[in-house]
Amino acid sequence: MNLHKRILKARPVQLFLAWVASLFIRLVLSTVRWDIAMPAAVQDLVDKHRPLIACFWHGRLMLIRACLPRGRTVHVLISEHRDGLLISRAVENLDIHTVASARRRGGQSALRTMLRLLADGEMVGITPDGPRGPRMRAKAGAVKTAQLSGAPLIPISGSVKRRKLLGTWDRFCLALPFSRGVILIGEPIAVPADASEAELERLRRLLEDRLNAMTADADRRFGQSPVEPAAARTKGAPGHARA
């Protein structure tokens, strides 16, 4: 490991970077004029404090705090990779709890935690294309969690007028302050407990298609060229069905 990576992995450096990131996100959230479109069915779930699974692309993660309900705990699935830990510490400063996704254990510990939280009536957040992509391609994890928990999937995306798209695998949307933003929330997607493998795949594609359509719509509202999804992996390729 080179010196640069060792410095970035140091806990004091991680805590400092997370603090700076959370301050910047707070600045963005407080200075951007947000237009949030929430369907009545989702508003009803929120008002009744029903469990739900918020789904959003990894590249739009920064924007999601703008639409999360105040006064309700939200648990977001985050990778245990170094970048994931930095994100985790940053969002925890914004009153978002995190669930670590340990890929070396197959994600089973994180799945059990999310199922317990949903059974308790909590809200969880999942990036279906995380933690390493391919970009804007939904893995099976979110749909499987909905099937096992009975909680609906809620697709969410958004964009901002002033932004910088980073050269990362997810084309991370770095929102800039003093701008205008839009958050689009889709209709709930229910996953039956007895759904067949073919039905689960249909619902996975439905989630992916809705998120991509919403993301493109949000970008076009500000005259921006939509971010294109990465090439889809074929079935059986590494990472195809991982959460």
Domain containing residue 115: CATH number:
3.40.1130.10
| Range from 18-32, 71-85, 219-233 carrying the lowest mean pLDDT | 71-85
194 burial class (0-12, 13-18, 19+ CB within 10 angstroms)? exposed
Q: Is the pLDDT of residue 83 over 60?
A: no
| Range from 12-26, 119-133, 180-194, 208-222 carrying the lowest mean pLDDT | 12-26
Closest by CA to 157, choosing from 55, 69, 230, 226, is: 55
Structure confidence at residue 82 (pLDDT): 52
**Does the residue 226 lie in any domain?**
no
**Does the residue 34 lie in any domain?**
yes
Radius of gyration of the chain from its Cα atoms, rounded to whole angstroms: 17
Closest by CA to 49, choosing from 126, 120, 144, is: 120
**Does the residue 227 lie in any domain?**
no
**Does the residue 232 lie in any domain?**
no
pLDDT band at 243 (very low <50, low <70, confident <90, very high): very low
Domain that holds residue 99: 3-220
The count of structural domains within the chain is 1
**Does the residue 25 lie in any domain?**
yes
pLDDT, tens digit, 9 for 90 and up, residues 10-37? 777 877 887 888 899 899 999 999 999 9
Judge if pTM exceeds 0.75. yes
Mean pLDDT on 184-189: 98
Half-sphere exposure of residue 144: CA atoms within 13 angstroms, side-chain side = 15
**Does the residue 44 lie in any domain?**
yes
Asked if 133 contacts 169 with a C-beta cutoff of 8 angstroms, the reply is yes
Helices and strands (H, E) in the chain, number of each type: 7, 9
**Does the residue 225 lie in any domain?**
no
Per-residue burial over 79-118, b if 16 or more Cβ lie within 10 Å, else e, is beeeebbbbbbbbeeeebbbbebeeeeebeebbebbbebb
**Does the residue 243 lie in any domain?**
no
